[in-house]
Amino acid sequence: MMNKENVKQQILSYALLVLGSALFAIGDVMFVNPYHLAPGGVYGLANVFNALWGWKISLAGICMDIPLLIIGTIILGPKFGIKTIISVILIPVFTYILETWWGYAPLIHDGAFFDTELQSSLFFLDGEVQRYFMPDFFLNTIVSGLIYGVAIGVIFRAGATSGGSDIISMIIHKYTKISLGTLVMVVDSIISLTTLIAFEDIRLPIYSILLIYIEGKVIDLVVEGVKSYKTAFIVTDKIDEVRNFILKDLDRSGTVFAGSGLYQGAERKMIYVTLNRSDLVKLKANLRFLDPNAFVNVIESSEIMGNGFKALPTE
């Protein structure tokens, strides 16, 4: 039986799921689609289909997402929870609402709209009139990446995924053993390249890939937070002095390992400690006084959980 704290967490996670799905739809309909961008995923393809044949993004998206979800469940097993299923449903619902209410007009453009009978690669439909606009690709790409990144990051924080092309990557990974990260980049890049084939404009895949890069950085920021941690491995003969400095001056704890040197076999001790950026600077500044002969290896720590850091997940 869930306590009040767990109930609050569940309510928050579903609220985040709704928020992330709505933001994703806003980013796609108002920013990505009007510029004929395809930053990977099912909705990247849906944008191309919409521009070429006028298919609604929401319909094309869900018509690809649901079969992929079913195929993924058959091949990979029941990996996709109820929240992912809800996300797969919510995104096209919000997208449909925006398509109906807003249309496919860009929110960012450089110059006023104007009606013309001349052909152009960038347009949106307003009733039966084709209205063209002067694009501002760079600004639109940055804003699109920020919105997409926040949207997908929030969905991840809710404990769900957006499904889509990630499922294709997971299936290929199962049979090829190529890393999942590499496969996701390859699949998304191939989808981005469809814009070059469809519209014969080299700018579109370039801006789409730039959007993917910005999106990835923002996702990391939303999921992992802004704090940056470093893990230091310190091999020292002045173990007591270094330990006391970490405990008393930095107010941090760590772990001491005993080992032996590879060359001479002499017994050595090593301190393992995780610090934020400012504490690491203090440690390095004082190590030259505590033990000038210390050997230090500092590595980036993308996520730290446990006492004194981020709480362990409850589910």
Structure token digits, residue 260: 């032996």
pLDDT of residue 118: 45
Strand runs labelled E in the chain: 114-115, 123-126, 129-132, 229-236, 255-260, 267-276, 295-301
* Per-residue pLDDT in tens (0 to 9) along the chain, 315 residues: 557 777 888 898 899 999 999 999 999 999 999 999 999 899 999 999 998 998 999 999 999 999 998 988 888 887 777 888 999 999 999 999 999 999 988 999 877 665 554 445 566 555 445 567 788 999 999 999 999 999 998 998 888 877 777 788 888 888 887 776 678 778 888 999 999 999 889 999 999 999 999 998 888 888 777 666 889 999 988 899 999 989 988 888 898 988 787 777 778 888 999 888 878 888 888 888 899 888 889 888 766 766 666 666 655
**How is the chain split into domains, by residue range?**
4-224, 229-301
Position 298: which residue type? V
pLDDT of residue 302: 67
Q: Which residues fall within 8 angstroms of residue 30, CB to CB, at 6 or more apart?
A: 98, 102, 105, 106, 107
pLDDT of residue 263: 75
Position 111: which residue type? G
305: three-class secondary structure by DSSP: strand
Q: What are phi and psi of 257, to 5 degrees?
A: -110, 145
Strand partners for 269: 236, 258
Q: Which residues fall within 8 angstroms of residue 257, CB to CB, at 6 or more apart?
A: 269, 270, 271, 272
Strand partners for 100: none
* C-alpha torsion sign, points 65, 66, 72, 78: positive
217: three-class secondary structure by DSSP: helix
What CA dihedral angle connects 263, 264, 265 and 267, to 10 degrees? Answer: -110
**Residue 147 CB burial class (10 angstroms; 0-12, 13-18, ≥19):** buried
Look at domain 229-301 and name its CATH class: alpha beta
pLDDT of residue 117: 47
Work out the angle between the directed axes of helices 180-199 and 165-176 (0-180°, nearest 10): 130
DSSP 8-state assignment for residue 125: E
Rounded-to-integer distance, Cα 59 and Cα 54, Å: 11
Structure token digits, residue 180: 């999942």
